[in-house]
Amino acid sequence: MPTRGIDGSTSDSRSLRVHQVDPDGASGAGEGVLSGVRRGEAPVFYFDLASPECYLAAERIGELLPVPVEWAPVVGIPGGWGDDRDLIERVALERGLQPLRWPASWPPRTDLAARAATYAASIGRVTAFSLAALRQAFAGGAIWTIPTPS
């Protein structure tokens, strides 16, 4: 099923899809809906800390969904993250976010940050940690990386 991208275009991959629940408990299908989430289950936001698209989604997900969302860090979501920097920067500005500052090393290795996010999830702090890490990466231009031995 095609999904809608951050610029409104339709595509078959890389777009955030969310689950919509009406007050009567019925699941909707269509725009902005992720199939497979059952009544009573929290929708899951799978995000990659190296993805500017995930940063844009993370900044909006709490206000768009009427239910709490479970955040799940992943590494290496397939796709050309950050391929269209102009589009991503424009969307960030349209949404009232700070201008993007891209990490110096691109694409960044986020293994260490993802491990920290996984630990944060185990202690119930994944949302706060991950949102802060995404903001540091894409609004501050600083990302956690694994140092290379010299």
Split at pLDDT 50, 70, 90, the class of 127 is very high
d(CA 42, CA 19): 9
Query: What pLDDT is attached to residue 35?
Result: 42
In a domain, 129, yes or no: yes
Number of domains in the chain: 1
Orientation angle between helical segments 126-138 and 52-64, nearest 10 degrees: 130
As a whole number, mean pLDDT of residues 119-123 equals 95
CATH of the domain at 55: 3.40.30.10
Residue 116 three-state SS: helix
Residue 65 located in a structural domain: yes
What is 84-126 written as a DSSP string? -HHHHHHHHHHTTPPPP---SSSSPP-HHHHHHHHHHHHTT-H
Residue (of 94, 85, 79, 87) closest to 11 by Cα position: 79
- Is residue 86 one of the residues assigned to a domain? yes
**Spatial CA neighbour of 139 closest among 92, 75, 72, 95:** 92
Write down the pLDDT at residue 17: 35
The verdict on residue 104 lying in a domain is yes
Does residue 65 contact residue 42 with C-beta atoms inside 8 Å? no
CA pair distance 71, 128, nearest whole angstrom: 10
Q: What are phi and psi of 88, to 5 degrees?
A: -65, -40
Please report whether residue 48 resides in a domain. Answer: yes
Which domain range does residue 133 map to? Answer: 40-138
Chain centroid, CA 28 distance in Å? 22
pLDDT at 37: 58
- Extract the tokens encoding 115: 């491990």
Model confidence, pTM:
0.69
**Alpha-carbon distance 109 to 106, whole Å?**
8
Model confidence at 149, pLDDT cuts 50, 70, 90, reads: low
pLDDT band at 62 (very low <50, low <70, confident <90, very high): confident
Query: Quick check: is 16 in a domain?
Result: no
Question: Does residue 113 fall inside a structural domain?
Answer: yes
